[in-house]
Structure 1
């Protein structure tokens, strides 16, 4: 089996959202579908690689956020033999995306169509609900994937480990990173960010000890321990940064501006200029990241 990266060219920009193609003798699988706005790029990526629609028999989703799974309903029509694997908590939102769309609309408003496009349900007979930790799924293209429960970015987040190569398809739990760069940004959008759970998921990844990480945003990285250390440190640092300003009574827009200034300085320190930083913003922008951290701080305070 071999693993290939299909760049979904989100909003006409490369290296923002990946779909990973697993290929074997006469069969193929995908990890992540991307949003419907990237469906043409995904179709083209399969076609360029000579993969016929009926060859794709399994689609694995790390979670149901629209940049990762939004095209699933359309793909269920395009890929006649494919089964769609998702965390049991995410399952009902693929079968009926009404609540998912309502939640996303509160966040993205008028940009919903521009960013994500139309979202269709996946027929329930095509869905496979994964219970969470340690579920091993045999691949039709050879080998297996082991699903690991990795909350933090979202409660219903899974990371998939391919033992033969040591690859971990990490979704968003391993952060945002661009090819050729060392900088790792924690994606902390509302409504489900849980930093405490995220710490535990990072520890779990360390115990799995993958040879490489493949985050959906974007690429393949073998400096696993350094990558995880940076992610964990920045997640803690940004949480403290936001929390301190909330305690001083700062308004949301003031906190966004302050984190943007801080984040841009961190990018420059690791050799990423502002133009390249736009790629990070497309995968996880500062207003969204602050909203998620502020919501977490308030929820933790109520607990």
Structure 2
């Protein structure tokens, strides 16, 4: 099975959101759909590679956030023979996205349409609910779904045993193409660092040969990548918790985290364009919101 990257040119930037095409002869599958605003790039990418809409039989969603799965309802119309796979907790929100849109609207406000486009319901008869542990047909081969909460309760990764490729969604972090820096994409309301650390341990146990990040691309330095993700996830949680204990408010914490994170990026050689790409893919203000929500739940 061959894996190819489809860049969705989100916000006219390379690497911010990517889908992955699995191919084996005339059989094809996708991992991620991206948002509706990336559909034109997605369909053009399939056409340029000689993949007809009816060739795509499976679409694997790591989780239901709009940057990963927002185009699913429309894509179901464009790919008439495709079955969509998603974790069972997220499935109801694909069938009826009203609560998902309401939650996202609280975060993105008036920018919802420009960022994510139209989010249509996914027909229930086109959807398969997963728990994790399933071995699934994919482009004439097989992928294995693994439950990996932490970024969200409904998060899965997909491992392709033949090549060793693992499609990590957001639990594998954000890392721009050709960059060394790994950032944990922390978002409200389901951020759970303990579960996320456990998911990283699970990925280590599976021992993939490469990580394919929706926000970034393919990376083969698996152990280094996971070590950095694990360390940064822990350090960011501790960083914000310390400032909460000191009585700082959300705006002050955001300013401190931005300074801290930008210094980390600079230390690993990131230029200004790369720094901006990280901010578009995983903004500090959303991370602070997710961390504040987490500590509020914990009574801390």
Same fold (TM over 0.5): yes
Supply the distance in 2 between the matched residues of 1:142 and 1:225 (Cα, whole angstroms): 29
Cα offset for 1:178? 1.0
Supply the distance in 2 between the matched residues of 1:214 and 1:131 (Cα, whole angstroms): 21
Supply the distance in 1 between the matched residues of 2:292 and 2:137 (Cα, whole angstroms): 40
Structure 1 gaps of 5+ residues are none
Q: Which residue does 1:228 correspond to in 2?
A: 226
Contact 1:195 1:235 in 2 (8 A): yes
Q: Which residue does 2:134 correspond to in 1?
A: 135
Q: Deviations over 1:67-115 (max 9, x none)?
A: 0000000000000000000000010011110110010001110000010
Contact 1:264 1:274 in 2 (8 A): no
1:208 aligns with 2:206: yes
Cα offset for 1:301? 2.4
Supply the distance in 2 between the matched residues of 1:49 and 1:108 (Cα, whole angstroms): 34
Contact 2:84 2:127 in 1 (8 A): yes
Q: Which residue does 1:171 correspond to in 2?
A: 169
Q: Which residue does 1:88 correspond to in 2?
A: 88
Supply the distance in 2 between the matched residues of 1:180 and 1:226 (Cα, whole angstroms): 14
Supply the distance in 2 between the matched residues of 1:299 and 1:167 (Cα, whole angstroms): 35
1:116 aligns with 2:116: yes
Q: Deviations over 1:112-148 (max 9, x none)?
A: 001000100011000000122x111022x22101000
Q: What's the secondary structure of 1:30's corresponding residue?
A: strand
Pairing partner for 2:143 from 142, 145, 153:
145
Q: Which residue does 1:8 correspond to in 2?
A: 8
Q: Deviations over 1:224-264 (max 9, x none)?
A: 11100000100100000001111111111111110000000
Over the aligned positions, Cα root-mean-square deviation in angstroms equals 0.8
Contact 2:24 2:141 in 1 (8 A): no
Q: TM-score, normalised by structure 1?
A: 0.98
1:34 aligns with 2:34: yes
Q: TM-score, normalised by structure 2?
A: 0.99
Q: Which residue does 1:254 correspond to in 2?
A: 252
Aligned length: 300
Cα offset for 1:289? 0.6
Supply the distance in 1 between the matched residues of 2:26 and 2:14 (Cα, whole angstroms): 29
Contact 2:105 2:112 in 1 (8 A): yes
Contact 1:190 1:295 in 2 (8 A): yes
Q: Which residue does 1:58 correspond to in 2?
A: 58
Cα offset for 1:268? 0.4
